[in-house]
């Protein structure tokens, strides 16, 4: 891969594989809708989230052959100012809104953009679903840990009895779309893999101070290790092969 790193806030990475006439872009957009600033009563600017506007760079990739979207982990009360004066539609800033309702509105905005801008005969759209976190003894911001989990869950009775409402809301929006979107449903699959998070092992050659910091703030939500993401890629690749064969038949 002949790769070039672009140091901007939105477009984080751009890679090219000339032998395959392929380029890959990674765009950072945790909510898929626009992070915004609006004046408050004192005339100073405050951060809001525009539930009615898709992310600014969408027009740059609407002609891509394959699009893969994902959002979910940032849709929490902690990441969204507890929904107080944070969500905005048009010029209206909601005084209080539940994060689930805000997520539904944002996903509906995204779905409308897909149906208005994406040609399904050219572009294959994937949506990678919600992946499960495995913090025990606290949340990500309060000392939650997973460094003692060295094996996958094998007993289904140990799986999460209840998921956040985000996956159900996502499925509801996707089912209501007229345009086909391949839903890469990884929620239950990732629930088994409590052992597959970086945990405290997030960089090599750590100093003792860094080790202690990573023990206090463990990563039990990302999947930056071989295995789990490879499975997602294999599922996506099989779907792309199937689409290619279907096109050949027609």
Alpha carbons within 13 A on the beta-carbon side of 149 = 25
Q: What is the pLDDT of residues 104-116, one digit of tens each?
A: 999 999 999 999 9
Mean pLDDT, all residues of the chain: 89
Domain ranges in the chain?
Answer: 55-81+99-249
Predicted local confidence at residue 7, as pLDDT: 43
> Residue 164: left (phi > 0), alpha (psi -120 to 50), or beta?
beta
Distance CA 218, CA 207 (A): 16
> Following DSSP, what letter does each residue of 141-163 receive, concatenated?
TTT-B-TT--S----GGGS-SS-
Determine the 3-state secondary structure of 234 from DSSP. Answer: helix
* pLDDT band for position 11 (cuts 50, 70, 90): low
Q: Residue 125, Cα to own-chain centre: how many angstroms?
A: 14
Distance CA 54, CA 196 (A): 32
Predicted local confidence at residue 240, as pLDDT: 94
Distance CA 126, CA 157 (A): 30
Return the structure tokens found at 75. Answer: 């849709």
Distance CA 57, CA 62 (A): 9
């Amino acid at each position: 891969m002949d790769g070039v790193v672009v140091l901007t806030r939105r477009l984080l990475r751009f890679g090219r594989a000339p032998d395959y006439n392929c380029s890959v872009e990674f765009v950072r957009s945790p909510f898929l809708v626009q992070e915004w600033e609006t004046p408050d009563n004192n005339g100073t600017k405050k951060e809001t989230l525009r539930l009615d506007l898709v992310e600014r760079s969408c027009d740059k990739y609407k002609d891509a052959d394959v699009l893969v979207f994902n959002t979910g982990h940032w849709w929490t009360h902690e990441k969204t100012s507890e929904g107080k004066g944070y969500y905005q539609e048009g010029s209206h800033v909601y005084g209080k809104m539940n994060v689930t309702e805000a997520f539904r509105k944002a996903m509906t905005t995204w779905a409308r953009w897909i149906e208005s801008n994406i040609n399904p005969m050219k572009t294959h759209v994937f949506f990678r679903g919600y992946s499960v976190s495995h913090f025990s003894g606290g949340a990500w911001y309060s000392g939650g840990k997973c460094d003692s989990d060295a094996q996958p869950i094998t007993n289904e009775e140990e799986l999460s009895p209840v998921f956040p409402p985000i996956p159900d809301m996502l499925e509801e929006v996707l089912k209501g779309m007229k345009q086909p979107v391949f839903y890469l449903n990884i929620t239950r699959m990732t629930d088994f893999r409590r052992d597959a998070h970086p945990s405290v092992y997030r960089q090599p050659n750590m100093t003792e101070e860094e080790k202690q910091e990573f023990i206090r703030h463990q990563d039990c939500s990302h999947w930056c290790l071989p295995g789990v993401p490879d499975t997602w890629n294999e599922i996506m690749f099989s779907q792309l092969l199937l689409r290619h064969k279907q096109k050949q038949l027609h």
